């Protein structure tokens, strides 16, 4: 929580294991960058399916702990805007997830 409060204003990124393990659980890491741009873990989420609802739940917990949370940049999904609708945060999307979605959608055409 200390790193989230100290460095979270600059920006955060969330990424999960995406079936890289043999277990039925996925782990998402919430990362912040310190003053030297080193990635620091500021939180974790463990889920069996890692849905947008799970990410929204994570942000609801963050809102309880850090009510004024408003990072400048965020790499995640829309779950953040559901919990922090007034935030001035710029949302960035992961290239991997964009590519994955693009490939899946274009294969159906």
Q: Return the pLDDT at 41.
A: 94
- Which of 16, 12, 91 shows the shortest CA–CA distance to 47? 16
User: Which of 45-49, 95-99, 105-109 has the weakest average pLDDT?
Assistant: 95-99
Q: Return the pLDDT at 108.
A: 81
Digit-coded pLDDT (tens) for 55-105: 888 889 999 998 888 888 888 755 677 777 777 777 666 666 667 777 877
Q: What DSSP character marks residue 26?
A: E
How far apart are the C-alpha atoms of 79 and 59, rounded to whole Å?
Answer: 7
Digit-coded pLDDT (tens) for 3-36: 999 998 888 888 777 667 777 888 888 999 898 9
Using DSSP, state whether 18 is helix, strand or coil. Answer: coil
Q: What is the DSSP string of 32-68?
A: EE-TT--EEEEEEEEESS--HHHHHHHHHHHHHH-TT
Q: What do you get for the CA distance between the two ends of the chain, in Å?
A: 45
The pTM score is 0.70
What does each C-alpha distance from 104 to 16, 19, 52, 66 come to in angstroms? 19, 17, 18, 37
| Domain residue ranges of the chain, discontinuous segments joined by + | 2-106
């Amino acid at each position: 929580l200390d790193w989230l409060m100290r460095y979270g204003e600059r920006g955060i990124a969330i990424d999960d294991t995406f079936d890289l393990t043999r277990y039925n659980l996925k782990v998402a890491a919430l990362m912040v960058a310190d003053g030297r741009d080193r990635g620091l873990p500021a939180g974790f989420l463990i889920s069996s399916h890692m849905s947008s609802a799970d990410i929204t739940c994570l942000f609801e917990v963050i809102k309880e702990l850090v009510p004024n949370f408003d990072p400048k940049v965020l790499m995640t999904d829309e779950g953040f805007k559901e919990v922090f609708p007034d935030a001035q945060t710029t949302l960035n999307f992961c290239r991997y997830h964009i590519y994955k979605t693009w490939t899946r959608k274009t294969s159906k055409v």
